[in-house]
Amino acid sequence: MNWFELITLHSPPLIVAVPLLTAFLTPLVSKINEIVRNLFVLIMLCITGLLVLILGYDVLTNGIRTYVFGGGAPLPSGMNIPVRIMFEIDSMTIFMVIITIILAIICILYSWSFMKDQDGLDKYYTIILLLVTSIFGMELTGDLFNFFVFLEISCITSCALIAFYVHKKESLDAAFKYIVISSIGALFILFAIGLLYAQYNALNMATIANAIQFTFFDKIVLVLLVTGLAMKSGLAPMHMWLPDAYSSSPASVTFILVGATLAGLYGGLRVIFTIYGNQLLNTGFTFYPGLLIGIIITTLGVLSIFIGVFMALKRSDFKKMIAYTAVAEIGYMFLAIGSYLIGLALSVPDNPQMLVAGTYALKGGLFHILNDALDIGLLFLVAGAVYYATKQTSLNSLGGLARNMKYTTIFFLIGLLAVSGMPPMNGFASKLLIYQSTYQISPILSIIAIICSIMLLAVFVKVFQSIFLGPEIPSLKNVKEVPKSMLAAMALVACIIIFIGLFPNIIIDNLVTPAAEALQNTTSYISTIVGGA
C-alpha cells in the first residue's frame, strides 16, 4: 500500500481529526504571533480540503466507503453486526462535506481582517474549528449516538460563537435562546435514539434501517427526529432562533453557522431517506406514510418561504433581513424534498411522470443546499463588510456606499441576483428545477415559490437602494473599502456563484445527481454497510 492509498483509506477520520487537533493547537501557536496563527489555521483547513477531495474522488469513483474505528480488533464470538462506531460515506455525504470545507476556508480568510480588532481570537479560532469538526462529524458518521454527540458539540460551539460580542445584549439574548431551543431539540433527538436502541439493539443507521418495522415506537421516533432536526435547520414555525442568532453574531460566524444549519437538514434527510427509506420511499397511493410526510414537509416548506419573505420585507436591519431570507431559502429546500416524497407516492404505473418530476425536485432541492450556502453566505459577508466600514446595520442610517465601497457593491449585486433566483446566477438554476418539477406535482406550489422569489428580489432591491445608492451621506463621507482579505473571501464566493450559474451541469452531473441517487437508493446503502460489516 503506497502513501496515497494509505491517506485515501484513513481520510474519513482524518477529515475530523485534522480540524480537531488544529483547534487545540491554535492557542499554542497564537503564542508565536497572530500571522503565524492565521496561516496555521488556513493551511490546516486547506489540508482538510485536500483530504475531502481525495475522499470525494474515491467515493464518486468506487462507491460507498465505510470506516470502522478499531476495525482490526476481533469481534466477540457470535457477533456479526456492526457494534463499533462507523463512518459511512456516500455521494450525499461528500456533497455536504464539500460545502462545509468551502464555508470553513472562506470563513477563516474573512476573519483575518474582520476580527483583527477583537480580543480572545485564539479562543475564537479554536471554537470555529471545533464547530467545523462537529459539522464534519455529523456528516460523516453512520452511528446515531455519534451523530447526537457531534450535534451537541455543534450546539455548544455555535452558542459560544453567537455570544462572541459579549458586550452586546442582543448577542447574549440570541445565544441564550439558541442554547435553550437547541438543547430541547437535542434532548428529543436523544430520546428518539434511545427508543430505537431499545427496540433494535443497534445505533448504526444502516442496521436500524434494515430492521425497522414502522411500529408505534418507530412512528414516535420519526416525529421526534424529523421535528428536532427541522428545528435545527430553521424550518418554520420552529425557526425563531435563527434570525436572532444569525443577525447577532459576527458575519464570519454567521457564514459558518449556515453550514451548521445545513448539517441539521442533512440529518433530517438521513432520517427520512436512509433510516425510514424502505418504509417511506414507496410508490402508489396505498402507502400513505410517505405521502403524509411529503405533504407535511411541503406545507412547512411553503410556510417557511412565506414567513421568511414577509418578515424580511418589513425589517430595517440589514443582517436581520438576510437572516429572514435564509429562512425562506430553507423553505425552498424543504418544498423540493416534500415534493419528491409526494411525487413518489403519487407515482403509479400509468403515471410515471410524477416520479420523474419528484426526482428533478429532489435534485433541485439538493442543488439549492449548495447555492443557498454560497448566496446567503455572500450576503452575510457583505453585511459584515458594511458593518466593518460604517459600524451600522440599519438601512435608515446608511446610503450612497457604492461611491466608497465599489467592490463590496458588486459582490452585493451578485449575491442579490443569486438569492433572488435571477438568471444567469446559480440560484436560478436550482430554483428553475424546483419550479418546473413542483408545477407538475401541484401548480399552486410552483406559483407561490415564484411569487415569493420575486418578493425576495424586492427585499434586496430595497437593501441595494437604501445602502448603496442615493446621495452621499455626510456622516459616511470618509468610509473606505474593506481590507483585502475580506474582499478576497467575498470574491472567492462570488466567483464560485458565477461559475455554478454559468455551468450548472458540471455540478449537477458530478455532485448533485450522485447525491440524489445515493439518497434514493436506500437498499444499496444498507446492503453495502450491513453486508460489509
Site for another protein in 291-320 (CB under 8 A): 292-293, 296, 300, 307, 310-311, 313-314, 316
Based on the shown chain and the rule CB under 8 A, indicate whether residue 501 belongs to the binding site for another protein: yes
Q: Are 418 and 374 in contact (CB under 8 A)?
A: yes
Angle at the Cα of 128 from the Cα atoms of 460 and 366, rounded to 5 degrees:
50
Q: Whole-angstrom Cα distance, residue 432 to residue 502?
A: 14
Stretch that binds another protein, among 6-14, 52-60, 140-148, 227-235 (CB under 8 A): 227-235
Window 166-225: residues binding another protein (CB under 8 A): 173, 176-177, 180-181, 184-185, 188, 216, 219-220, 222-224
Q: Whole-angstrom Cα distance, residue 500 to residue 122?
A: 35
Based on the shown chain and the rule CB under 8 A, indicate whether residue 424 belongs to the binding site for another protein: yes
Based on the shown chain and the rule CB under 8 A, indicate whether residue 442 belongs to the binding site for another protein: no
Q: How far is CA 76 from CA 87, 182, 198, 533, in A?
A: 21, 38, 21, 14
Residue of 162, 186, 389, 463 interacting with another protein (CB under 8 A): 463
CB of 311 to another protein, least distance (A): 6
Binding mask 507-526 for another protein (x = CB under 8 A): -xx-----------------
Tell the burial category of 82 from Cβ atoms under 10 Å away from its Cβ (0-12, 13-18, 19+): buried
CB of 439 to another protein, least distance (A): 8
Grid cell at residue 45: 483547513
Q: Which is nearer to another protein, 436 or 527 (CB)?
A: 436
Based on the shown chain and the rule CB under 8 A, indicate whether residue 504 belongs to the binding site for another protein: yes
Q: Which is nearer to another protein, 36 or 180 (CB)?
A: 180
Query: For another protein, how many residues bind (rule: CB under 8 A)?
Result: 72
Based on the shown chain and the rule CB under 8 A, indicate whether residue 136 belongs to the binding site for another protein: no
Based on the shown chain and the rule CB under 8 A, indicate whether residue 4 belongs to the binding site for another protein: no
* Per-position b or e across 236-260, b if 16+ CB within 10 A of its CB: bebbebbbbbbbbbbbbbbbbbbbb
Q: Which is nearer to another protein, 219 or 484 (CB)?
A: 219
Q: Are 125 and 19 in contact (CB under 8 A)?
A: no
Residue of 301, 399, 415, 421 interacting with another protein (CB under 8 A): 399
3-state DSSP call for residue 351?
strand
Grid cell at residue 78: 457470535
Read off the amino acid at residue 269. Answer: L
CB of 216 to another protein, least distance (A): 7
Q: Which is nearer to another protein, 159 or 231 (CB)?
A: 231
Window 16-75: residues binding another protein (CB under 8 A): none
Q: Whole-angstrom Cα distance, residue 136 to residue 259?
A: 10
CB of 99 to another protein, least distance (A): 20
CB of 150 to another protein, least distance (A): 21
Query: Does an H or E element contain 69, and which?
Result: none
Residue of 120, 237, 352, 532 interacting with another protein (CB under 8 A): 237
Give residues with Cβ within 8 angstroms of 226, minimum separation 6: 268, 271, 272, 293
Stretch that binds another protein, among 31-39, 91-99, 153-161, 393-401 (CB under 8 A): 393-401
Q: What is the rounded end-to-end Cα distance, in angstroms, of the chain?
A: 22
CB of 484 to another protein, least distance (A): 29
CB of 255 to another protein, least distance (A): 23
Q: Which is nearer to another protein, 44 or 307 (CB)?
A: 307
Q: Are 520 and 359 in contact (CB under 8 A)?
A: yes
Residue of 22, 227, 252, 453 interacting with another protein (CB under 8 A): 227
Q: Are 189 and 151 in contact (CB under 8 A)?
A: yes
Q: Which is nearer to another protein, 394 or 527 (CB)?
A: 394
Q: Whole-angstrom Cα distance, residue 354 to residue 48?
A: 40
Q: Whole-angstrom Cα distance, residue 397 to residue 190?
A: 46
CB of 189 to another protein, least distance (A): 12
Q: Which is nearer to another protein, 3 or 216 (CB)?
A: 216
Residue of 40, 266, 360, 411 interacting with another protein (CB under 8 A): 360
Alpha helices (H) along 233-250: 241-248
Q: Whole-angstrom Cα distance, residue 402 to residue 84?
A: 57
Based on the shown chain and the rule CB under 8 A, indicate whether residue 465 belongs to the binding site for another protein: yes
